[in-house]
Amino acid sequence: MASTLRFLHSASAQDAALADPSLLGVLAFSQEPSSVSAPLLQITTAYNDASLELWLGKGKTISGNSGDISYRHDGEYLFGTLHIDEPLGGSIPPLQQATESAYRQIFTLMASLGYPVSLRFWNYIADINAVTHGLERYRQFNLGRQEAYLASGREIKDDLPAACALGIDQGPLSIAFLAGRTPGLPIENPRQISAYDYPQDYGPRSPTFSRAYLLPQAGLLLISGTASIVGHKTVHAGDVRAQTRETLANLQAVITAANQHLPGIEPKHLACRVYIRNAEDRSAITQEIERIWGADIQASFVRADICRADLLLEIEATAD
């Protein structure tokens, strides 16, 4: 299969791939400052397994900046990162304003460079569960994100990218995105209501993401942040082992759905990032993953807040 988009997980910042001319961008989970010239999103939380996620395209890239965005593109894929401080004051919650601005800038850039298809978004938000202006900050984020979708003329149920939205200790709203020229296939999970159809109990505007995005041409499955949610409800509040098992059942259901379009994807192909609310839950979560999927699953752990206060973990993954 022609692999025009590749991702690499690496524990080392010295990786030769950082100098690869086809490097589109990097996610770094590490306290050590990264000296990467490609667009970079860095999460510096203590307790992270230091890791790099590199996205590589097919060849020579063009780099640029536009407003708050740093980007690179190669004729087939566009990768960008942005960090936006929340504005002071105003009647609209600052995080909602920052989110709408970020997504409007991204959609404008995608249109002007000719990469109209959203494939994957990574969203990191300080204090994600705090309530300000009478609304939890994750819900403020969803308001701003959906406003930008509507403003760009996008449907909020069609062609949605894979995504994750996590809480970090501090810092500006930080977003990385991957866009393309050619659509793949958004995948939903039959065990879960689509996030865009969540009832208003979870906020005035629904999240806009699909459970996974399949890129058959690259042989990649991009799996969104996946948690212990069945239907639209959190299950097993307070029980980290049961939440882990439910999360793996959801990941398995997404893989099964994707296999109807591109057979052969299995849990052992996954490179997982496990976001955990409480660092001390790590060994219980690892035990459950190893018991169910075996010990050879690639998983790196990141301490983060999950977007619902009753969720203790969320797992995202890329499979090839």
Q: Does 175 bind ligand 3EB (CB under 6 A)?
A: no
For ligand 3EB, which residue of 95, 125, 165, 240 counts as binding (CB under 6 A)?
Answer: 165
Which residues in the 188-207 window bind ligand 3EB by CB under 6 A?
Answer: 195, 207
**Is 314 an active-site residue?**
yes
Q: Does 176 bind ligand 3EB (CB under 6 A)?
A: no
CB of 142 to ligand 3EB, least distance (A): 6
Per residue in 74-84, is it b (16+ CB within 10 Å) or e — as a string?
bebbbbbbbbb
> What are the structure tokens assigned to 296, written together?
């050879």
SS3 of residue 284 by DSSP? helix
Hey, which residues does 60 pair with through a beta bridge?
none
Nearer to ligand 3EB, 79 or 124 (CB): 124
Q: Does 144 bind ligand 3EB (CB under 6 A)?
A: no
Q: Does 253 bind ligand 3EB (CB under 6 A)?
A: no
Q: Which stretch binds ligand 3EB (CB under 6 A): 20-28, 31-39, 158-166, 287-295?
A: 158-166
Question: 205 burial class (0-12, 13-18, 19+ CB within 10 angstroms)?
Answer: buried
Residue 144: closest CA among 84, 199, 194, 70: 84
Q: Does 312 bind ligand 3EB (CB under 6 A)?
A: no
Q: Which stretch binds ligand 3EB (CB under 6 A): 37-45, 223-231, 258-266, 294-302?
A: 223-231
Which residues in the 99-128 window bind ligand 3EB by CB under 6 A?
Answer: 123
Asked if 105 and 147 count as a contact pair (C-beta separation under 8 A), the reply is: no
Dist CA 258 CA 266 (whole Å): 10
Q: Does 43 bind ligand 3EB (CB under 6 A)?
A: no
CB of 35 to ligand 3EB, least distance (A): 29
Nearer to ligand 3EB, 207 or 267 (CB): 207
Nearer to ligand 3EB, 27 or 307 (CB): 307
| Beta strands, E only, 5-76 | 6-10, 23-29, 40-43, 51-56, 62-66, 69-73
Residue 265: closest CA among 220, 202, 231: 220
Q: Where are the alpha helices (DSSP H) in 186-267?
A: 240-259
Nearer to ligand 3EB, 74 or 314 (CB): 314
Q: Does 164 bind ligand 3EB (CB under 6 A)?
A: yes
Dist CA 149 CA 155 (whole Å): 7
Asked if 66 and 109 count as a contact pair (C-beta separation under 8 A), the reply is: yes
For ligand 3EB, which residue of 5, 143, 229, 312 counts as binding (CB under 6 A)?
Answer: 229
The distance of Cα 229 from the centroid of its chain, to the nearest Å, equals: 17
State the residues that interact with ligand 3EB by CB under 6 A: 123, 163-165, 195, 207, 209, 224-225, 227, 229, 307
**Which positions are catalytic?**
314
